[in-house]
Structure 1
């Protein structure tokens, strides 16, 4: 049986994946965040959902994310999320290699991970000690 954190991470990844898939192959505006990197409304919408869901249940945990930066609460637990891993393939539609990815670390050690490869219809879930 998976931990509550792992099951909740799976729920977050599934919901965020539905958000991202709703934007796939649509004409999206690029928002340049640096000279070599941009994000889209899909990144922002997925990030907003992820942040809201984490804050609803794990208010004391740190959160690091690709779009939302870092929130350090001084906890030994840190959520790490990428709201859209593969923004360019998702944005251009050139491939189905994009996903929503998350992990929970205790200190510097990952203890669970989830990847919802929504473009490919694949879902991966792992937890330390669960096989």
Structure 2
């Protein structure tokens, strides 16, 4: 069954990419949602396309999406979709956004896909299987060993995502790492799964921001938890630690605690 699920996720990503690519670096009508993040016709059309394909193949499955909300969220299998993660990057022409398609079974992520439709890169992680990676630019799908945070490459989308209470905790971690690179959204987690980034720490992530990422990170040999080192939850605060080398996790948790 897992192969059927993976095939459906890939087909949905292919269909979404066909919607997104013609609009990338074109003139788009950008609106403001309630949280002031940009929304384009590409977001909405891509999510509609993904939902339609998944509903056709698995009519009993649920879905949670950024643009169109929940359907059958209490089902055994629930797809979690972000049609364009990193919309700000998308509307400014930077190819570090991605389409995220994740699948939860009984509330636990079991399948994740990151697709970068502009560059042709795709990461697929599934429970019980190794990481699948496709790219015309190369890259090795495996995390790297990192002995300590002092040697680690840290990535974070933006310092603005942290609350006043979280900011000094992140600052402690940042000062303990080799350096920090800002920006990247889901793409940073893909780079972690290629052994190019060692740790990603973020906050205020919604389920559609992280459900697809966890299986990819874990399939590559890494780990992904909340700031207390506990499994991520749909009702959690969205605080995320992703590490390429799980040995980094206790040190990171201690600094963020």
Measured in 2, the distance between the counterparts of 1:76 and 1:35 equals 30
1:3 aligns with 2:3: yes
Count the aligned residue pairs: 130
Q: Which runs of 5+ in 2 are unaligned?
A: 131-257
State the match for 2:222 in structure 1: none
1:1-131 correspondence runs (5 A):
3-72=3-72, 74-93=74-93, 95-131=94-130
SS of corresponding position for 2:52 = helix
Measured in 1, the distance between the counterparts of 2:49 and 2:95 equals 22
Q: Considering only CA atoms, is the larger Rg found in Structure 1 or Structure 2?
A: 2
State the match for 2:192 in structure 1: none
Q: TM-score of the superposition, structure 1-length normalised?
A: 0.91
Bigger relative contact order, structure 1 or 2 (CA pairs below 8 A, ≥6 apart): 1
Measured in 2, the distance between the counterparts of 1:66 and 1:73 equals 13
SS of corresponding position for 1:3 = helix
Higher strand content, 1 or 2 = 1
SS of corresponding position for 1:6 = helix
2:8–2:57: 8 Å Cα contact kept in structure 1?
A: no
Measured in 1, the distance between the counterparts of 2:3 and 2:60 equals 18
Measured in 2, the distance between the counterparts of 1:47 and 1:10 equals 14
Report the CA distance between 1:61 and its aligned residue: 1.0
Report the CA distance between 1:10 and its aligned residue: 0.9
SS of corresponding position for 1:27 = coil
Q: TM-score of the superposition, structure 2-length normalised?
A: 0.48
Measured in 2, the distance between the counterparts of 1:63 and 1:38 equals 22
Measured in 2, the distance between the counterparts of 1:33 and 1:127 equals 32
Measured in 2, the distance between the counterparts of 1:90 and 1:81 equals 17
Structure 1 segments, 4+ long, off by >2 Å, are none
RMSD over aligned Cα atoms: 1.6
SS of corresponding position for 2:28 = coil
Measured in 1, the distance between the counterparts of 2:75 and 2:49 equals 22
